[in-house]
Amino acid sequence: VTSVAFSPDLKRVASGSRDNTVRLWDVTIGSCEAVFENHSREVTSVAFSPDGKRVASGSEDKTVRLWDVASGSCEAVLEGHSRSVTSVAFSPDGKRVASGSGDKTVRLWDVASGSCDTALEGHSTLSPAWPSAPTGSELRRALGTRR
């Protein structure tokens, strides 16, 4: 599992995975409600729309996909990045999706049309949040635990 996001009502969790899928989980009963399959590579990021009716997913296949939560159908495939999509987020009004990529750009997409209306450039390098996989002792130290 590479990414998780709660729905706005906190009743569902979306998860993205290295198996190229997005799964929708009902947290009240602990079961998988749906599996969204169409990415050709690892899903790196997921986000719910503010109304909880859509999930956006970003992938190493360089696309962002918009999923209808009720039907499970893929509503749109947003293409334009030249490298893996590493992050996705909805605007507070749900009308736009932002995507970040290894191509060092942030793209802003119109949800209704599926078009990219803005490409933001300026990052000069990629900076991972944690430069390398932490060891167990590093995690314990960071979390303030001994065991």
Q: What is the pLDDT of residues 56-87, one digit of tens each?
A: 999 999 999 999 999 999 999 999 999 999 99
Distance from chain centroid for Cα 82 = 17
Average pLDDT in the 16-32 region?
Answer: 96
Tokens of 75: 């509503």
Task: From 56, 51, 58, select the one nearest 93 (Cα to Cα).
Answer: 51
Average pLDDT in the 33-43 region?
Answer: 96
**Residue 99 identity (one-letter amino acid):** S
d(CA 128, CA 123): 13
